[in-house]
Structure 1
Amino acid sequence: MPPNSRFSDATSLPPICISEDTSRFRYTYRNGPRSAVRIARIVLETVNLNHSNVRWFVFGDDNTIFFPENLVKTLSKYDHGLWYYIGTGSESFAQNKFFSYKMAFGGAGFAISYPLAMVLSKVLDSCLNRYPHLYGSDGRIHACIAELGISLTHEPGFHQMDFRGSMFGFLASHPISPLVSLHASDTIDPIFPNMTTIMSLEHLFKAVSIDSRRVMQQTVCYDRWFSWTISVSWGYAVQIFPHHVFLPDAIRTQETYIPLKKGGGINDFYDVDTMGYDPDPCRRPPLFFFHKASFGRDRITTSYRIMTSENCTFDMASPRKIEEIRVFSRKLELDAKQMQAPRRHCCDVLPSSSSGNIMEIAIKDCGHEELIHMHP
């Protein structure tokens, strides 16, 4: 880093390390990136830095966004003294079929426990010589860990995001697990309308700074007065279906995105439980995006507003009359048992205290026998 860099005095930044020469290793994947060998060896080089008090080594691409508190909380489920290789596959059927369902994809990031990383670092170079034909660095790490007899432990909070276009449907149906990572590749749109990718991530982190654990967690509640179904993806978006939707359907992923690769066939299939998305915006449920968050009196308030203009006609029984949604919640604290056996939260639509253009929702722990269901 140049001495006059404005970051040169920032002691909080990690040190910059230049990886070793890897020209002695063969790479035979046609038209592939030879840098995959060098990137794979970063695992070995990081271990060799001999940092103290290390429990996990976490790796990702240069455009992987990690949510540190959630990453730490997720890894706390596991005994770091055992051999663990933790991550996720792709959302694309074609990508998984081509590379492997048992490989942690690098764009989503992955974690290797300390004892496994120590052993892997000792055998990595000899192992890499057996896999010159593989495409990427993550495939090489997977192959060498597999040779040690260890399989991938899937964690749903890591996200490779092998799509193109809008990620709304995917993010709004996040599994009941802390959001650990997003792969901010240039194939996807900014996650908030009318913003750049950087602006949208900065906006999301306003919610993350208030309640990291709850970000993107989906809660569904049913309005007794209008028979609406409301899906809340905390800190991201709220969607109001103008009719009752069974819960198993409400938590499915709407296909707002398009396949990563063109050409049809298996490229059009996903390893995600999907549902259709109407091409006519006026026939879709109105969508309210995160606006702001505040904390006070032992509760958090987030507000959501419409950020796009569809110019749709509607009557007073339509959810399109709503201008703002306010969601009240307490900071989400997850203990070890809740991490191991997560349960979706419940929510109530509160009686309107305004002229009817503001909806208020309270998120709560579900009662012991409480069901999330449509009301007659």
Structure 2
Amino acid sequence: MAPPAPHIIDEILEDIFLRLPTPAALARVSTASPSFRRIITERSFLRRFRKLHPPPLLGFATNNGVFEPVQDPDPSAPLARALADAADFTYSSSSPGPEMIRLLLGLPAISAMAADAVFTNLAVCDPLSRKYVLLPPIPKDMTVQTEPLVEYGRFLASAGEDEDEDETLFKVICTAHYKSKLVVFVFTSSSGQWCKVASPSWSFLGPIGFRWNSLGHPYYLRGCFYWMPLSTDKLLVLDTCRMESSTVNNLPGYREQLMNQPGRVMYTPSIVIGTEGALEMITLVGDLGASGLFYLYHTSQENKGESCNQCQLKNVIALPSGWTYNIVGATEGLMFIRGMEARSRDPDINLYSLDVKTSEVKKVCRATFYGHYCSYFGFPPSLSKPSL
């Protein structure tokens, strides 16, 4: 009987490898033989594996080049340590300039002290391969020349959700806040060009209008950016696939109910989590009494465009006492919370994750830096090919 063809053997091995429970197990198997590693490191196989096994949280990168890896007893701690040893989150070996976009990471909005620089000096960097791609300047005729730039933000997004999408493709979204309106620019690596999204005026905020820092940091979920202005019950949504901006009514009156609770104050605006057909929010509320407790209010609302829908309170989650908290991000079904010891001269800083589906809160790592954090999901460096 003739032996099976090599491609049949590869297909059988692929099916076996897809059943491995974790990326760590896959990495160990890839070291068993060159043929195993060849199959496992193919982009097509890794795409299939990621669909069945979402990449684990490996840590947080900060806006000063520090990487905070997840720590024991988290099962991903060994992978996180390997990433910290292999990657360069300071970009000291590849940085083309001070204003750059960090690959797979979002950076907060920055002030417009040097408007020319933020429109011209941009790059996308890969901390693993230590390579970068310089972006062309945003054309001047796309910007608003008659008004000073108030605030500017830049963010990285995937090119699309297509299973066969080239993983080296990406989009860069830049937001320019002017006094009269928000302007959004989108760069696609496939075209190598910038385009401008139809931009809304600040009238969507209602009679309050635009105020400094009223939009805050956006949250990126399933191809869309969401901004939650502090002064309105509307969400600003940017769909990076359709290249359209719109607004959605956000739980009318609900924020005022939380803010007006006796003895409690809402420290952080609601954050969009997002599920199929619904908008989910987590709101951080602090107790001003002697207990000093903090709570997370999880609510849900059907997403039907601009129509108002009933708000449903799904859960109230009490956070450990003795700490003060703030929310630092949300993605992949998780919300990230920073906790700092209350009433301490040299407080510890911990980062926690909240599983939105199960409401489980767990400590991820002890932090060494108080600033902006970006969550980093991925596979072991041995299975990660350069993205650029």
Q: What range describes the TM-score normalised by the shorter chain of this pair? A: under 0.3
Query: With structure 1 as the length reference, what TM-score do the two structures score?
Result: 0.23
Greater share of helix: 1
Query: With structure 2 as the length reference, what TM-score do the two structures score?
Result: 0.23
Greater share of strand: 2
